[in-house]
């Protein structure tokens, strides 16, 4: 049971995370501030969410969901969901989650929200805009 929910200083969306075999240090490749695609609807073959959690205490269930926020015409459209248990055994402990997101469907322009939660408590929310690349641009 979670005694203290963690603080999340980083939820970074990237293409992939590579770990240096000699040092064990991660490198985030293809960090994304937005998702610009050639056509919509489309499917993104692979993304990775790199998440750091600090200063929790106890064991907690966490969920990363990726969804389109609710609007006046439709409810929330869930695109991806991942579940795990995370344990913090001592103060000032840091836990890193690297979550592989495969075949993420994007139905149209707008925002997608990456939300990390434990039960009903939202730990971190990250909004990423989705748009279509204009013809003639890279």
The rounded distance, in Å, linking the Cα atoms of 96 and 128 is: 21
Give the residue among 74, 40, 51 at the shortest CA–CA distance from 125. 51
Q: Which domains does the chain have, with CATH numbers?
A: 2-132 (2.60.40.1930)
pLDDT value, residue 29: 97
pTM value?
A: 0.89
Written as six digits, the tokens of 14 are 């990237």
pLDDT tens-digit map of 8-44: 999 999 999 999 999 999 999 999 999 999 999 999 9
pLDDT value, residue 61: 96
pLDDT tens-digit map of 40-77: 999 999 999 999 999 999 999 999 999 998 765 566 78
pLDDT tens-digit map of 79-93: 999 999 999 999 899
């Amino acid at each position: 049971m979670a005694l203290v929910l963690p603080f999340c200083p980083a939820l970074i969306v990237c293409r992939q995370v590579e770990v240096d075999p000699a040092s064990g240090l991660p490198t985030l490749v293809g960090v994304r501030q937005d998702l610009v695609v050639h056509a919509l609807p489309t499917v993104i073959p692979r993304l990775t969410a790199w998440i750091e959690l600090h200063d929790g205490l106890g064991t907690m269930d966490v969920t990363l969901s990726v969804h389109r926020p609710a609007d006046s015409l439709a409810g929330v459209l869930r695109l991806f969901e991942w579940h795990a248990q995370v344990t913090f055994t001592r103060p000032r402990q840091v836990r890193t989650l690297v979550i592989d997101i495969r075949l993420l469907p994007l139905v149209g322009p707008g925002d997608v929200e990456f939300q990390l939660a434990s039960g009903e408590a939202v730990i971190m929310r990250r909004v990423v805009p989705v748009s279509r690349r204009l013809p003639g641009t890279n």
